[in-house]
Amino acid sequence: MVEIRLRNTRTRKVEPFVPLDWQNPAIPVADRRVRMYVCGPTVYDRAHIGNARPVVVFDVLFRLLRHQYGAENVTYVRNFTDVDDKINARAAETGRSIREITDETIGWYHDDMDALGALRPSAEPRATEFIGPMVAMIETLIARGHAYVAEGHVLFSVASYAEYGTLSRRSVEDMRAGARVEVAPYKRDPMDFVLWKPSDAATPGWESPWGLGRPGWHIECSAMARALLGGAFDIHGGGVDLAFPHHENERAQSRCAHPEGEFARIWMHNGMLNVEREKMSKSLGNFFSVRELLDKGVPGEVIRFVLLSTHYRQPIDWTERKVKEAEQVLRRWIDRLKSSHLELSWVNWQSYHNKDMHAPDDRVLSALADDLNSPAAFARLHRLSEQLDFDSFNAMLGSLILLGLMPDPDRIDLLSISGFSFENDFDPVEEQLFYLLEIRKIARKNYDFARADFIRDQLTAAGVLVTDSPDGTIASRTRLFDASKLILIK
């Protein structure tokens, strides 16, 4: 097993990752789980390209953890915020129900993220499904002296938690003096934040000990993470814009409600996304959704490649040049794999996702284990693609699978220029082609060039172009391909 190292925002250090369950010998091996929570979208509109970056980043981490510990031993939770003032406003604007809007938006989100090659998380809870646990946590905070009721609101008392600000490395006094916060008359301190707020007849509401109301934003993730992952779990992720105040508040209320648990041990944050060196903004005309890119013909794998081309912690600049370069690189990689496919390895493209068939390259795996260093992984893939042999073919294919960069089998030609195009299942003709190329390969290795040339001539007569080079043999069907002209050779 490779050692995984991840940068912890809380400690500002890159630390060896050992899951909590693996640190507890009392937990049977069969019951051990790696647990990760990532903040998901507020579902009122299409996901823009900036929203896609944490999805892709933490999907790579999810894949890496599954590779390391087994898919059945990794639990990944990403929530949907389906109660929010923006959703309420959208419902009022359109005259549609809140449920109709959120259901539709979640469907869009799944379609768009699926197109980027992101695996579905183990659980995708909706905030409205966890109102009970939120109310219970708020009651606990009040009972412990960390929250108070004021004018139908329940607020967290920042002063009650001595570690407040340590995650984002901010001084409470500086925040109090300089932060732009709503100084409501019912707040004891300007920094106190809302856990529960009253609802009127026009907004969604649930009965609670404090009257009809709805939860504040931050309490959602604390309650859902505890309900699904327990009082202590391994990784909490999201964009760097969430480090303060969302994650700072999450950590404070979770630690205060349940001081016996650590809540999240490692906090990870991806950098922000700009477009052509400017902040993405509708007013600047550089704001676009993932769906708009897909509808313009940009393959999901290309979008994913661009998002991984910069280290996840760094800001990323989305440019047209990067999109074009990403497509060129992926075309070259996939084309190299496909054109080498028959000569080098018996691969069923319909089952290429089987990691047992195609283990990733050791150096690619090590790069990803080093705090998700995807640029270093890409550099290694460039080297692998230069000279494909049997081992490097499988290592490269396995690496692309691990990175989520292999297209679906029925879309493989979107990123391919030449090479064989296989149907959903291998048929006898394709099996015969593979067999002939394997026999020819053996003949060449045994210096039986007469036999090798005879097979090449038979393939040429059947409309198969065979080209030998120092890097190997490339075989491609031409438009003149005629399966009836193939001769089975013993």
Q: From 358, 389, 415, give the residue that closes a domain.
A: 415
Same domain, 27 and 91: yes
Same domain for 339 and 437? no
Note whether residue 226 is domain-resident: yes
Report the number of distinct structural domains present in the chain.
Answer: 3
Residues 105 and 220 in one domain: yes
Reported as a pLDDT band with limits 50, 70 and 90, residue 412 is very low
One domain for residues 453 and 409: no
Q: Are residues 277 and 356 in the same domain?
A: no
Beta bridge partners of 13: 8
Name the DSSP letter for residue 203. S
Shared domain for 44 and 139, answered yes or no, is yes
pLDDT at position 482, please? 81
| Residue whose tokens read 């649930």 | 206
Residue 11 maps to a domain: no
* 460-470: average pLDDT: 77
Burial of 162 (0-12, 13-18, 19+ CB in 10 A): exposed
Cβ 75 vs Cβ 20: under 8 Å:
no
475: enclosing H helix or E strand? strand 472-477
pLDDT at 300 over 90: yes
Give strand pairing partners of 148. Answer: 155
Identify whether residues 278 and 350 lie together within a single domain. no
* Of the residues 357, 383, 415, the one at which a domain ends: 415
Domain annotation covers residue 193: no
Local confidence band at 479 (pLDDT 50, 70, 90 cut-offs)? low
Pairing outcome for strands 232-239 and 263-270: parallel
- For residue 57, give the 3-state DSSP assignment: helix
* Integer Cα distance of 287 and 231 in angstroms: 38
3-state secondary structure of 368: helix
Q: Is residue 391 domain-resident? A: yes
**Is 277 inside any structural domain?**
yes
Domain residue limits at 364: 332-415
Pairing of strands 273-275, 316-318: parallel
325 located within any domain: no
Domain co-membership, 115 together with 25: yes
More confident residue, 433 or 196: 196
Under 8 Å between Cβ of 463 and 482: yes
Identify whether the C-beta of residue 312 lies closer than 8 Å to the C-beta of residue 375.
no
**pLDDT value at residue 489:** 56
Question: Residue 437 — very low, low, confident or very high, per pLDDT cuts 50/70/90?
Answer: confident
Work out the average pLDDT over 438-447: 80
Is 237 found in the same domain as 122? yes
Helix (H, G, I), strand (E, B) or coil at 339: helix
Distance of CA 150 to the CA centre of its chain: 40
| Domain-embedded: residue 300 | no
Q: Look at residue 420 and tell me if it is in a domain.
A: no
Question: 436 and 354, same structural domain?
Answer: no
Q: Are residues 81 and 117 in the same domain?
A: yes
Say which CATH number the domain at 50 has.
3.40.50.620
Residue ending a domain, among 361, 393, 415, is 415
Range scoring the smallest mean pLDDT among 37-51, 149-163, 325-339 = 325-339
| Domain shared by 132 and 258, yes or no | yes
235 beta partners: 36, 266
- Round to whole Å and give the CA distance between 126 and 135: 15
